[in-house]
């Protein structure tokens, strides 16, 4: 995949949400898409459970579509943009994998998973403490 395919995907959503776009897509809100998002995630899970990889490809596309549509609506409402979502997740992945992007070492998948959850808990504690500061 290149950035080009993702940009085409986002452009399709912008077109559907535009003045001359699709009435259904234009009417959607973040809240109205909540159940669609959950439904798509469940369809991904079912395809994985069945090892139906042709269907999994399709369902992952639907899930990405739902996420991108919600993000577009958030951008229209000046809440955040796709670049913010991607930057946040990229930074989080780097923070939670210091054995790959830092100096820590792990010897097994189990150790890596324990470290991941340790880093996640540390982030959550830090966020909770930030929220308590007045």
pLDDT (tens digit, 9 = 90+) per residue, 39-86?
A: 999 999 999 999 999 999 999 999 999 999 999 999 999 999 999 999
Instruction: Find tokens 């991904």 and name the residue.
Output: 44
Tokens of 114: 């324990």
Higher pLDDT, 124 or 112: 112
Instruction: Find tokens 């930074």 and name the residue.
Output: 91
**Is the pLDDT score of 128 beyond 80?**
no
Tokens of 27: 């009417």
The CATH number of 3-80, from 1.20.120.80, 2.60.40.10, 1.20.950.20, 1.10.287.1080, is: 1.10.287.1080
Alpha-carbon distance 3 to 119, whole Å?
A: 30
Residues of the chain with CATH 1.10.287.1080: 3-80
């Amino acid at each position: 995949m290149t950035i080009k395919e993702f940009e085409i995907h986002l452009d399709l959503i912008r077109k559907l949400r535009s003045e001359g776009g699709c009435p259904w897509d234009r009417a959607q809100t973040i809240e109205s898409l909540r159940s669609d998002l959950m439904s798509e995630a469940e369809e991904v899970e079912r395809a994985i459970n069945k090892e139906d990889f042709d269907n999994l490809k399709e369902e992952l596309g639907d899930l990405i579509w739902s996420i991108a549509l919600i993000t577009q609506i958030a951008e229209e409402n000046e809440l955040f943009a796709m670049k913010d979502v991607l930057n946040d997740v990229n930074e989080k992945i780097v923070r939670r994998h210091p054995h790959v992007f830092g100096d820590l070492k792990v010897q097994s998948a189990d150790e890596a998973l324990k470290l991941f959850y340790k880093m996640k808990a540390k982030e959550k504690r830090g966020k909770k403490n930030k929220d308590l500061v007045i």
